[in-house]
A and B are shown apart, each in its own frame.
Chain A
Amino acid sequence: MQATPLAIETQGLTKWYGQVLAVDHLSLQVHGGQVFGLLGPNGSGKTTTMGMLLGLVRPTSGAMRLLGQGSGALYREALQRVGAIVEGPTFFPYLSGRANLLYFQGISRRRVPGEVDRLLEVVGLSGRANSKFSTYSLGMKQRLGIAYALLGEPDLVFLDEPTNGLDPAGMAEVRQLIRDLGRGGRTVLLSSHLLYEVEQVCDSVAILSKGRLITQGRVQDLLRQQGAVRLKTTDDGKALPLLAALPWVTGVRSEDGCLVANAPLERSWEMTALLAKEGVYVSEMAPLQLSLERYFLEVTGEDSSVIAEGTR
């Protein structure tokens, strides 16, 4: 994976809106051929970052490359190999779904014959292709947005909250579609407030908070780094401060009659050795995989109600 060229690269990307710092020296690397999740709470700078990458928002400072191209005409050339739906699906309300796609296909340089009908079929809109966009439900609008993003067989696809408004079956279909896109060699940048969706679909993830990059990496690597161990001991009261004092243990809590220590799994033996030395014996020990949601909460310091609301 690391050997693939970078689809997106930013260095010190910064955006000020007046006195408000929206994105703060963001340095991001997205390798090609993967599904990359962009996560962050409200106002974390995800949409502004996408806007800058897509040439809609002018960066205050910093550099960025898209599909290997920097600024100017080459960057615009690169944009022709990008499909994107940002800030919700908005189309011409008086045109039908098909006419909307025909228009965007028409103005693009990359035109694939017959792809409008094929994409309408893929997203399940063939039956309503000739209805006006203004008559579509939110879910249908989302599907049309995905079809739009896939016009011209792009190498890089930006999807901002693509499952918003879809029913559970629709969500599952779209997730499968995103996974297929990733497998097909495309790079997909997915912004979603549904963390389990990101966990299911994405290979790598970047977490933003207050415009800054908190962490970035492969989902499994991040979760492993932040692994946790569940322990049952003969004296939890004595064990808790002993474990908490270890420099590589980032947290210990009591949960359901057990102790949960946030620590790399490969250092579990050191914990048992220390406790035994202090006369506390471990009767049960099991690795505990953090969910991406818990990981997200821990690294951003957000409470779960914010996550449930959405993280645009």
Chain B
Amino acid sequence: MTAQAPTLVRWEWFKLRRRWMPWVLLGILLLFSQLFLWANFFSYRNLESTGGRVFLGGAPIGGRLTGDAPVAVNCNDLLAGRTEGLPAGIDPRLIEGLQQQCQQAMTRQQERLEGRRNSFTLPESLSGALTAAQGIGVILMAILTASVIGTDFGWGTVRLVLVRGIGRWQYLAGKLAVLALVSVGALVVVTAATVVSSLIAGALVGGGASDWAVLSAFTDWARGLGRVWFSFLPYVVLAALFTVLTRSSAGGMAIALAYSFGEQIVVLILINLFDWFQNVADFLLGRNIAGWMLGEQREGLRGMILGGGVGLGEFPDGLHAFLVLGAYILVLGGLAFWLFQKRDVQGASGG
């Protein structure tokens, strides 16, 4: 029975790689992960060229206000005595105040530039890109899972596979194994793209040889990749269960995504209304994924999770999250297999 598993995985991949969908989803994943990196790159360039900005807004200028819209002024201009960007007739004391503000900022300028530079150069750029990939990746994996399983119901091809003597358990396990492998592959591609982007971005800002320090940071990268990959699995089995239940890729996608977004909204409302809901929330899928991703770098990464997690209470710790997510994978996966094993397989539904 298990001897057939590699064959099923191989041939599932044969089909999957000929579809558009996985490549489109990979493109979206790459886009999101690289957007993060290049946004930091441009932020760095901006900080470097402007020296940072101070804002002037709602302050009295010559007895009147500048208006509602604040005016942004580059510190480099102010410190060089260039005040062309400021409104005419501005109080000189105000300019002096702004210059002092800029001088203070300049004492931390090198530190700020270093921080931004690290975020788009290796090895730190990898953890940033993987975290960005995780956020969109769970949704993309749910979509891909629902499509990979659901289209076989829609096209009626599930019958063609099963009548060749393939066990139902093997059939579903083969699909889930391919999805698990594909997600690892996608993260490796994200990593490769991030390495290339980081080297390009580093070179553009005059990067040094220290970029290659990534080789020594391989363990950290592998751990980060494993963490992101594990966070995908509960959503893969969740989408699989609902796809098997509805026998439709659209149904599986809709329910898995509705659950994902619905949970965040419900938690946001209830956790602020009832203290006891924190205990319930500690066992919900999305929050445990957030807790798992925060891991030991809780404070550092918190800002990247769920809009900073403002008003969302405390996230579960890493071990708790690991156990809860493991339980979700086992229970949801078990239900999907049980349901698929028990039910009759009907003809093509077209959906």
Q: How far is the CB of A221 from chain B (nearest CB, A)?
A: 31
| 0 or 1 for each of B155-168: is its CB under 8 Å from A? (1 = yes) | 11101111111110
| Any A CB within 8 A of the CB of B4 | yes
CB–CB B348/A107 < 8 A: no
Interface residues of A in 145-163 (CB under 8 A from B): 148, 152, 158
| Any A CB within 8 A of the CB of B30 | no
* CB closest residue in chain A, given B171: A107
Query: Among the listed A55, A90, A94, which residue makes an inter-chain contact with B18, where contact means beta carbons less than 8 Å apart?
Result: A94
In whole angstroms, how far apart are the Cα atoms of A171 and B156 in the complex? Answer: 24
CB–CB A107/B11 < 8 A: yes
CB–CB B163/A56 < 8 A: yes
* CB closest residue in chain B, given A86: B159
CB–CB A90/B163 < 8 A: no
The interface residues of chain B lying within 8 Å CB-to-CB of A107 are 7-8, 11, 161, 164, 166
In whole angstroms, how far apart are the Cα atoms of A73 and B342 in the complex? Answer: 16
| Any A CB within 8 A of the CB of B223 | no
| Any B CB within 8 A of the CB of A93 | yes
| 0 or 1 for each of A95-121: is its CB under 8 Å from B? (1 = yes) | 100010011101111000000000000
Known contacts A86-B159, A107-B7; is-contact A94 B165 (Cβ 8 Å): no
Known contacts A87-B348, A91-B155, A94-B19; is-contact A106 B162 (Cβ 8 Å): no
The interface residues of chain B lying within 8 Å CB-to-CB of A80 are 164-165
The interface residues of chain A lying within 8 Å CB-to-CB of B14 are 99, 102-103, 106
CB–CB A51/B344 < 8 A: yes
The interface residues of chain B lying within 8 Å CB-to-CB of A152 are 164
Q: How far is the CB of B3 from chain A (nearest CB, A)?
A: 9
* CB closest residue in chain A, given B164: A108
CB–CB B18/A82 < 8 A: no
| 0 or 1 for each of B19-43: is its CB under 8 Å from A? (1 = yes) | 1100000000000000000000000
* CB closest residue in chain A, given B19: A94
The interface residues of chain A lying within 8 Å CB-to-CB of B82 are none
In whole angstroms, how far apart are the Cα atoms of A180 and B163 in the complex? Answer: 23
| Any B CB within 8 A of the CB of A184 | no
| Any A CB within 8 A of the CB of B15 | yes
* CB closest residue in chain B, given A154: B164
The interface residues of chain B lying within 8 Å CB-to-CB of A99 are 14, 18
| Any B CB within 8 A of the CB of A25 | no
| A-B residue pair count with CB separations less than 8 angstroms | 85
Q: How far is the CB of A90 from chain B (nearest CB, A)?
A: 4
The interface residues of chain A lying within 8 Å CB-to-CB of B166 are 107
| Any B CB within 8 A of the CB of A92 | yes
CB–CB B156/A87 < 8 A: yes
CB–CB B160/A90 < 8 A: yes
The interface residues of chain B lying within 8 Å CB-to-CB of A213 are none
CB–CB A103/B11 < 8 A: yes
In whole angstroms, how far apart are the Cα atoms of A73 and B169 in the complex? Answer: 12
CB–CB B164/A106 < 8 A: no
In whole angstroms, how far apart are the Cα atoms of A76 and B341 in the complex? Answer: 14
| Any B CB within 8 A of the CB of A57 | yes
In whole angstroms, how far apart are the Cα atoms of A88 and B350 in the complex? Answer: 13
CB–CB B18/A86 < 8 A: no
The interface residues of chain A lying within 8 Å CB-to-CB of B7 are 106-107
* CB closest residue in chain A, given B156: A90
* CB closest residue in chain A, given B11: A106
| Any A CB within 8 A of the CB of B345 | yes
| 0 or 1 for each of A53-64: is its CB under 8 Å from B? (1 = yes) | 011111000000
The interface residues of chain A lying within 8 Å CB-to-CB of B15 are 92, 95, 103
Known contacts A58-B342, A94-B19; is-contact A148 B156 (Cβ 8 Å): no
CB–CB A55/B155 < 8 A: no
In whole angstroms, how far apart are the Cα atoms of A79 and B160 in the complex? Answer: 12
CB–CB B344/A56 < 8 A: yes
Spell out B's residues near A (CB within 8 Å).
1, 4, 7-8, 10-11, 14-15, 18-20, 155-157, 159-167, 342-345, 347-348
**Further pairs besides A95-B15, A108-B165: 9, Cβ < 8 Å:** A76-B167, A80-B164, A90-B156, A90-B348, A92-B155, A94-B18, A102-B14, A103-B14, A106-B7
